[in-house]
């Protein structure tokens, strides 16, 4: 049961400081449990277990979760690890003999660091990372204690002394003759040997700079200015003669603003305006590309700008447009706004003439998270993962037929990536999903695809998910295979046949299970249409008791750009549902229709329909779960998620208020028009205002019946904090209550102890009907 609101407050709880208390309705009465059920553990004990099973704490109870393979010595050796961060073993494999040698352990590294520094160093203080090994010198290199170190064969650690380097934002030529510097929004070429300078451009301005990308909010905050120094943006021709670059145009582009109320080390707030390309905006930043012959410019003392005959391109995110070189010519991937089409242009660096060598135009739009165009000069064209058949299949597109292409794969399955092309051009290796119909459609597999018309061969035949790492020459594959219920088994395979040649490690969660952990359960059911298979996962609390009754919390992230339900053993153990369930609830994750990796028809319900897509699928599968497991109480259902999942959380409560009654929405993009362009438009295209409004959470704010907590970082550099403020305002205007926590000096990464405390408190009070434990008081730091 849940508490029903007898009156609606038009106030809002603005909580920006640790220790603040959310204004909430009175706790709901606790649900009566069956007499034979064991008493639930004390709420403080459940919170402690939630902390233990969250993030690093949970990982420390698992061994061999990820062997982190690295091919070293030009592919002649394999370096990997076993154990976990507290007790790691670093192992080298000579691939000529397949002999294993243990190189070092965490204990040895910590002992060496302690000896080198003269004080005891533990794993938490050391932060050991980036461990690498050179078999030629038998030296181990690693990062620790905010520096770089080497461990010699005798066990002695030496800190690598690196001379302070001044940040160099110039763009040096590959042959070392020239470098390009930026000055006052223009570009200057410098002869490195003589120091001679030649101005390449002279009319650059703040709104129309040359070779300068849009500063991201993180850059602005770091520098404390709206115009931070930026690296020169461009691409040299391989011979160091030509510079390919671009000019940005932000004239008439609407800007966002942000105020950091508590800047570290400063007493007063600081405010900035910045360009952030927004979905649905009338005007977006534009990029036009050009080439300059730097050799000729240095000789003549002046530059000739050669514009490329490529349409101006809308910038959909604050990063440089695509620029590269293939066979001595600029190679440009161009995207039309709204993802109506993509084209690969090849240009002449001397004249600027350009032609399309590959083209993709799929109705209603090109979903770039499920398709891509990759340069393949050795094969005479471009490799295109295209949905033209309704499924993401691989084609070889040649310049003589840019709209065509030779099919390299066929069928109702998806190619996710091209991992290797054989040196003799006879075959390539791809990762795909859904080809083996008896398996979970989200499990990855590796395939060898013939370029000569032969059959496609599976290299990873075990009915599991295969997380593969290939050596550069394709000779070897490290395969970490698993399923949510089968621990990760890492093996070395022969890259030609897929045959397993060496066992590396198997994951072990015995210590985690000894702590009371209940393993997650995959669940398959059908969508709201009654026949489409969909998949989910169930997370139960530790010491689960089937005689009790548990509320349900949906951990949500929908949309056509990804999937949410873990397909691997590691991911099933890492997701936050493991921790949230410990408060005394059952957490579920669901991939409904409108999500990725199941073909275009499965994903298309999301097109211009993000506000509604998948809602009824989630409800349908939760009811199917509750029908199978009566201890799941489908009358008490909450929901939480972050980013797009924060948008989902709010829309679930607002659009299905009779089913979802409590939600915690973090960093949500509640009105898609206030988010970066690429993410909404890859799902929505560029529709009219009515369509954007229909998909906005603000448009349905009046539907709220339950309890909603909004959490956002005040300096979110991905989804602007204005999104949560706008939804809060819409709720107040509609006469609805809402709770809001603003986390100081926090970006899009809101996961921190105070965040988890507030999330758990909200569900404990409003869904479980219990009183959360009090915050532990802390002594304020001395000023």
Flag whether pLDDT at 781 surpasses 70. Answer: no
Q: Give the residue extent of every domain in the chain.
A: 40-60+520-768, 73-159, 169-361
Straight-line distance from the first to the last Cα atom of the chain, in angstroms, rounded to the nearest whole number: 47
Q: What is the pLDDT of residues 400-448, one digit of tens each?
A: 999 999 999 999 999 999 999 999 999 999 999 999 999 999 999 999 9
Q: What is the SS3 string spanning 372-421?
A: EEEEEHHHCEEEEEECCCCCCEEEEECCCCCCCCEECCCCCCEEEEEEEE
Confidence of residue 782 (pLDDT cuts 50, 70, 90): low
Percent of the chain beyond pLDDT 90?
A: 90
Flag whether pLDDT at 23 surpasses 60. Answer: no
Instruction: Please tell me if the domain spanning 40-60+520-768 has the same topology as the one spanning 169-361.
Output: no
pLDDT of residue 713: 97
Flag whether pLDDT at 194 surpasses 80. Answer: yes
744 token code pair: 């100081």
Flag whether pLDDT at 8 surpasses 70. Answer: no
From residue 292, alpha-carbon distances to 41, 125, 233, 365, 599 in Å are 71, 50, 14, 34, 43
Measured distance CA(398)–CA(380) in Å, rounded: 6
Residue 263 sits at φ, ψ, to 5 deg, of: -65, 130
- The class (CATH top level) of 169-361 is mainly beta
pLDDT of residue 164: 78
Measured distance CA(415)–CA(417) in Å, rounded: 6
Neighbours of 256 (CB within 10 A): 15
Confidence of residue 5 (pLDDT cuts 50, 70, 90): very low
Helix (H) or strand (E) holding 108: helix 106-117
Neighbours of 143 (CB within 10 A): 16
Measured distance CA(643)–CA(622) in Å, rounded: 22
Torsion 132-134-140-141 (CA) sign: negative
Which of 234, 180, 243, 228 minimizes the C-alpha distance to 211?
234
Alpha helices in 417-471 (DSSP H): none
Top-confidence residue, 549 or 453? 549
Percent of the chain beyond pLDDT 70?
A: 95
Measured distance CA(373)–CA(365) in Å, rounded: 15
* 212 contacts: CB under 8 Å, gap ≥ 6: 182, 185, 204, 230, 232, 233, 248
Residue 335 sits at φ, ψ, to 5 deg, of: -120, 130
Flag whether pLDDT at 10 surpasses 70. Answer: no
SS3 112: helix
Residue 662 in contact with residue 578, Cβ under 8 Å? no
Flag whether pLDDT at 774 surpasses 60. Answer: yes
Q: What is the pLDDT of residues 163-188, one digit of tens each?
A: 777 889 999 999 999 999 999 999 99
Min mean pLDDT across 31-40, 48-57, 166-175, 464-473 is at: 31-40
Min mean pLDDT across 5-9, 202-206, 346-350 is at: 5-9
Surface-to-core class of residue 129, CB atoms within 10 Å of its CB (0-12 exposed, 13-18 middle, 19+ buried) = exposed
Residue 173 in contact with residue 181, Cβ under 8 Å? no
Residue 37 in contact with residue 547, Cβ under 8 Å? yes
Flag whether pLDDT at 635 surpasses 90. Answer: yes
Residue 307 in contact with residue 290, Cβ under 8 Å? yes
Surface-to-core class of residue 455, CB atoms within 10 Å of its CB (0-12 exposed, 13-18 middle, 19+ buried) = exposed
pLDDT of residue 776: 79
pLDDT of residue 780: 63
Flag whether pLDDT at 708 surpasses 50. Answer: yes
From residue 538, alpha-carbon distances to 271, 464, 484, 626, 663 in Å are 44, 19, 11, 11, 18
Give me the residues paired with residue 429 across strands. Answer: 420, 448
pLDDT of residue 454: 85
pLDDT of residue 453: 83
In this prediction, residues 469-483 reach a mean pLDDT of 97
Flag whether pLDDT at 673 surpasses 80. Answer: yes
pLDDT of residue 36: 63
Flag whether pLDDT at 778 surpasses 50. Answer: yes
Min mean pLDDT across 3-12, 51-60, 428-437, 743-752 is at: 3-12
In this prediction, residues 107-131 reach a mean pLDDT of 94
pLDDT of residue 543: 85
Mean pLDDT score of the chain: 93
Flag whether pLDDT at 21 surpasses 60. Answer: no
pLDDT of residue 469: 97
In this prediction, residues 685-708 reach a mean pLDDT of 97
Flag whether pLDDT at 583 surpasses 60. Answer: yes
pLDDT of residue 27: 40
CATH number corresponding to 40-60+520-768: 3.40.50.1820
pLDDT of residue 6: 33
pLDDT of residue 674: 96
pLDDT of residue 22: 35
Q: What is the pLDDT of residues 29-41, one digit of tens each?
A: 444 444 466 777 8
How many Cα atoms within 13 Å fall on the side-chain side of residue 403?
A: 3
Flag whether pLDDT at 9 surpasses 50. Answer: no
SS3 48: helix
Flag whether pLDDT at 200 surpasses 80. Answer: yes
């Amino acid at each position: 049961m849940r508490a029903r609101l007898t009156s609606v407050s038009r106030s809002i709880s603005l909580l920006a400081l640790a220790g603040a208390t959310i204004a909430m309705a009175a706790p709901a009465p606790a649900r009566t449990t069956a007499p034979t059920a064991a008493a639930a553990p004390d709420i403080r004990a459940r919170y402690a277990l939630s902390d233990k099973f969250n993030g690093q704490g949970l990982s420390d109870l698992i061994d061999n979760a990820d062997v982190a393979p690295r091919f070293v010595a030009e592919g002649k050796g394999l370096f990997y690890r076993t154990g976990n961060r507290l007790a790691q073993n670093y192992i080298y494999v000579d691939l000529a003999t397949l002999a294993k040698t243990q190189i070092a352990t965490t204990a040895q590294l910590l002992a060496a660091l302690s000896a080198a520094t003269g004080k005891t160093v533990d794993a938490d203080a050391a932060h050991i990372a980036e461990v690498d090994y050179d078999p030629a010198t038998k030296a181990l290199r690693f990062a620790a204690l905010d520096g770089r170190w080497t461990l010699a064969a005798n066990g002695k650690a030496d800190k690598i002394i690196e001379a302070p380097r001044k940040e160099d934002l110039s763009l040096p030529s590959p042959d070392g003759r020239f470098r390009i510097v930026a000055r006052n929004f223009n570009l200057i070429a410098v002869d490195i040997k003589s120091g001679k300078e030649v101005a390449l451009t002279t009319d650059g301005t703040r709104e129309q700079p040359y070779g300068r990308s849009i500063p991201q909010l993180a850059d602005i905050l770091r520098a404390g200015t709206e115009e931070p120094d930026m690296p020169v943006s461009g691409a040299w021709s391989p011979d160091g003669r030509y510079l390919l670059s671009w000019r940005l145009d932000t004239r008439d582009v609407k800007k966002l603003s942000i105020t950091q109320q508590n800047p570290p080390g400063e007493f007063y707030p600081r405010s900035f305006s910045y360009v952030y390309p927004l979905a649905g905006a009338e005007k977006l930043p534009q990029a036009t590309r050009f080439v300059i012959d730097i050799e000729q410019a240095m000789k003549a003392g002046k530059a000739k700008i050669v514009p490329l005959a490529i349409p101006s391109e809308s910038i959909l995110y604050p990063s440089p447009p695509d620029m590269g070189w293939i066979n001595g010519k600029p190679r440009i991937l161009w995207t039309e706004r709204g993802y109506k089409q993509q084209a690969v242009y090849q240009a002449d660096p001397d004249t600027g003439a350009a032609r399309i060598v590959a083209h993709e135009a799929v109705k209603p739009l090109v979903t770039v998270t499920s398709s891509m165009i990759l340069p393949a000069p050795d094969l005479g064209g471009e490799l295109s993962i295209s949905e033209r058949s309704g499924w993401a299949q691989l084609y070889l597109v040649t310049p003589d037929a840019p709209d065509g292409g030779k099919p390299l794969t066929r069928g109702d399955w998806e190619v996710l990536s091209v991992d290797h092309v054989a040196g003799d051009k006879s075959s390539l290796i791809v990762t795909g999903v859904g080809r083996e119909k008896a398996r979970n459609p989200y499990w990855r597999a590796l395939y060898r695809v013939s370029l000569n018309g032969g059959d496609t061969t599976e290299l990873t035949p075990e009915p599991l998910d295969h997380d593969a790492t290939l050596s550069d020459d394709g000779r070897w594959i490290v395969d970490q295979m698993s399923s949510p219920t089968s621990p990760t088994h890492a093996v070395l395979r022969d890259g030609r046949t897929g045959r397993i040649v060496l066992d590396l490690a198997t994951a072990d969660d015995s210590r985690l299970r000894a702590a009371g952990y209940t393993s997650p359960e995959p669940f398959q059911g059908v969508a709201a249409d009654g026949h489409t298979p969909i998949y989910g996962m169930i997370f139960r609390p530790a010491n689960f008791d089937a005689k009790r009754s548990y509320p349900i919390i949906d951990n949500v992230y929908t949309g056509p750009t990804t999937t949410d339900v873990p397909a691997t053993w590691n991911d099933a153990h890492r997701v936050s549902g493991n921790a949230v369930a410990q408060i005394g609830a059952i957490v579920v994750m669901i991939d409904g229709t409108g999500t990725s990796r199941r073909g275009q028809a499965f994903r298309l319900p999301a097109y211009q329909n993000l506000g509604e897509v998948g809602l009824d699928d989630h409800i349908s599968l939760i009811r199917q779960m509750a029908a199978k497991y009566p201890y799941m109480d489908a009358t008490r259902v909450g929901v939480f998620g972050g980013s797009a999942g924060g948008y989902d959380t709010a829309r679930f409560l607002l659009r299905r208020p009779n089913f979802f009654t409590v939600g915690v929405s973090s960093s949500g993009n509640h009105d898609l028009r206030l988010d970066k362009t690429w993410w909404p438009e890859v799902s929505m295209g560029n529709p009219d205002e009515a369509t954007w409004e229909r998909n906005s959470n603000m448009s349905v704010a009046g539907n709220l019946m339950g309890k909603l907590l909004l959490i956002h970082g005040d300096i979110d550099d991905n989804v602007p904090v204005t999104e949560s403020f706008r939804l809060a305002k819409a709720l107040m205007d509609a006469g609805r209550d809402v709770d809001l926590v603003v986390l100081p000096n926090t970006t899009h990464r809101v996961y921190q102890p105070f965040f988890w405390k507030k999330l758990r408190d909200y569900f404990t009070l409003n869904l479980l009907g219990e009183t959360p434990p009090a915050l532990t008081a802390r002594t304020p730091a001395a000023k």
